[in-house]
Amino acid sequence: MSVAADVDSTAPDAAELAERADAVVVALDRAGDMVDPDLADRARRDLDAVAARLERGGDRTVVALVGGTGSGKSSLFNAISGLRFADVGALRPTTEVAAACVWGEEADKLLDFLEVSPERRIQRESLLDGDTERPLHGMVLLDLPDHDSIARHHAHLVDRLLPVVDLLVWVVDPQKYADEALHERYLRGLAGRKEAMLVLVNQADTLPDGAIEKIMTDITDLLAEDGLDGVRVMPTSAVDGTGIAEVREILADVVARPSVTLTTAQAEVDAVARRLAPAVGPEEPDPDDVDAEVEELARSAGVESVTASLRMAGQGPGRGAVARPEPPAESTVAAVRDGWVAKVSQELPDRWARAVDDAVTGPGRIQGAVAEAVGSVPVPLTGSGRAVRFAAAAAVLAVLTVVYVVLGLTGLDVAVAAAAVPALGAVALLVLAGRVRRGDAARAAQTYRSEVVAAIRDVARRTLADPVRPVLDTHRAVREALTG
């Protein structure tokens, strides 16, 4: 079983801890409504409390007795301190305001911060005590108002002080230890601080033989269900002194560790980070991943049809007219936009996903930008200068062939033989002209497509990727602040 005395004796660095807490607050302020305001406000309050506690130094150990109405906190407070100071109600056993007992030098600044009124403070050590109280020197013992009181400000004070308490001592009633409000409202949310927790089953003197063991087993099982396995549970009684000496020994062990305040602050910052963790995603998506969207926008603008017709025109005359690009349908653009938003937002919580959607340009403006980008790239003229020149040369050779053939018919045998040379050249040039025409057409088609796709990619960057960068940068800042 463990209490705060079993935590790692290595104290966190106070400056680094304060810097991390400040970074979380700054990130939350930057995030605005992208983090649930109630969750963010609670985090700010707790982190402000941690910062205020750290400003008052780490030379004090704050121990709080926390419990519900009738649990006997005040009687235990008196038994542990050896003084009859805390109110013990007979008719209405409710702790109305916090009380504090200070061992060692006065701690007025700390008690002011803890909102303990001057008349509810007492200094424990005196010359009459000798060395009996020295092991608790530096401890501030609080008797907090009942967390289940109908007075709303009681619960508010408990909620405010829990984050800055170094050791939480939960005092439970043998009859009400399974109270759902205790477990749901408090214990289940304190799993990160189980090493700084002790549970006292009070009024053990009222239980029959054997009952206390069963109750302690039940409580241990309930704590395990709350994520608080390993928390020490022990019986106490202010009437017959059961467990009081042992509790004082535990407190002395806690006080002996100078790092306890910083460890508590570290635990509270970690607890805030855990509560905020669901408010961010595991990582930020890459907004520049727009390849699929660019291809779909190009297709919807008729780029593929234009490219194919350019290639076809290179096959020769009569192969069809070159197609022209056209503005993409707004419904198609809207589908591309919404699909990209869904892809980028799939790992983000709802508030961040809505922020991404709000940041991205509307489909009408995207449609206009795509149409303008496609129109800015001229469609190449069909035909190839080199192919035309080769064809012209082939025509000249064809004419020479005819001349030689005519001469051959007039009786010049050598002319007939010579006609074979330009004829073969003409054929070769015509074949070459066809190949050049097809090659030039393919290159023109590819160049056109590359230029149009580049223009559409620029549109996607301006209308999809760039607008969400600030949202994702803010998300990264919050996530990194939480992970430290």
Whether residue 286 lies inside any domain: the answer is no
Last residue of a domain, one of 279, 299, 334: 279
| Alpha-carbon gap, residue 66 to 170, rounded angstroms | 5
| Alpha-carbon gap, residue 472 to 284, rounded angstroms | 6
Same domain, residue pair 412 and 468: yes
Domain range enclosing 81: 4-279
Same domain, residue pair 141 and 86: yes
Whether residue 285 lies inside any domain: the answer is no
Same domain, residue pair 233 and 356: no
CATH number of the domain bearing residue 242: 3.40.50.300
Whether residue 310 lies inside any domain: the answer is yes
Same domain, residue pair 223 and 327: no
| Alpha-carbon gap, residue 470 to 461, rounded angstroms | 14
Query: What's the pLDDT at 414?
Result: 47
Same domain, residue pair 302 and 275: no
Size (the chain), residues: 484
Same domain, residue pair 274 and 308: no
Q: What is the mean pLDDT of each run of 10 residues along the chain (484 residues)?
A: 48 78 91 93 90 74 88 90 64 61 86 86 70 85 75 65 85 84 80 86 89 91 91 93 94 80 83 92 92 92 82 56 81 94 94 95 93 88 50 47 50 48 47 50 77 93 95 94 86
| Tokens encoding 226 | 């709350």
Whether residue 251 lies inside any domain: the answer is yes
Last residue of a domain, one of 259, 279, 299: 279
Last residue of a domain, one of 249, 279, 309: 279
Distances (CA, A) of 305 to 157, 236, 322, 332, 360: 71, 86, 9, 17, 29
Task: Locate the DSSP E strands across 137-229.
Answer: 139-143, 167-172, 197-201
- At 453, which helix (H) or strand (E)? helix 413-460
Same domain, residue pair 144 and 223: yes
Query: What's the pLDDT at 74?
Result: 87
Same domain, residue pair 274 and 310: no
| Alpha-carbon gap, residue 110 to 463, rounded angstroms | 54
DSSP secondary structure of 294-361:
HHHHHHHTTHHHHHHHHHHHTT-TTS-PPP---PPPHHHHHHHHHHHHHHHHTTS-HHHHHHHHHHSP
Query: What's the pLDDT at 258?
Result: 58
- At 437, which helix (H) or strand (E)? helix 413-460
Same domain, residue pair 194 and 326: no
Query: What's the pLDDT at 51?
Result: 84
Same domain, residue pair 311 and 248: no
| Alpha-carbon gap, residue 122 to 86, rounded angstroms | 10
- Nearest CA among 340, 338, 294 for reference residue 460: 294
| Alpha-carbon gap, residue 24 to 19, rounded angstroms | 9
- Please give the model's pTM, rounded to 2 decimal places: 0.59
| Tens-place pLDDT, residues 255-305 | 887 567 787 888 888 889 999 999 999 999 999 999 999 999 999 988 888
Query: What's the pLDDT at 278?
Result: 93
Same domain, residue pair 297 and 269: no
**Cβ-proximal residues to 14 (8 Å cutoff; 6+ apart), any chain:** 54, 58, 262, 265
Whether residue 284 lies inside any domain: the answer is no
Whether residue 36 lies inside any domain: the answer is yes
Query: What's the pLDDT at 393?
Result: 46
Same domain, residue pair 268 and 300: no
Query: What's the pLDDT at 7?
Result: 41
Number of domains composing the chain: 2
| Alpha-carbon gap, residue 267 to 273, rounded angstroms | 10
Query: What's the pLDDT at 89?
Result: 43
Query: What's the pLDDT at 426?
Result: 45
Query: What's the pLDDT at 268?
Result: 86
Whether residue 383 lies inside any domain: the answer is yes
Amino acid at 92: R
| Tokens encoding 345 | 């937002």
| Alpha-carbon gap, residue 405 to 414, rounded angstroms | 10
Distances (CA, A) of 112 to 117, 260, 346: 7, 20, 48
Question: Under a CB-based contact definition with an 8 Å cutoff, are residues 203 and 177 in contact?
Answer: no
The Cβ-side half-sphere exposure at 286, using a 13 Å CA radius, reads 4
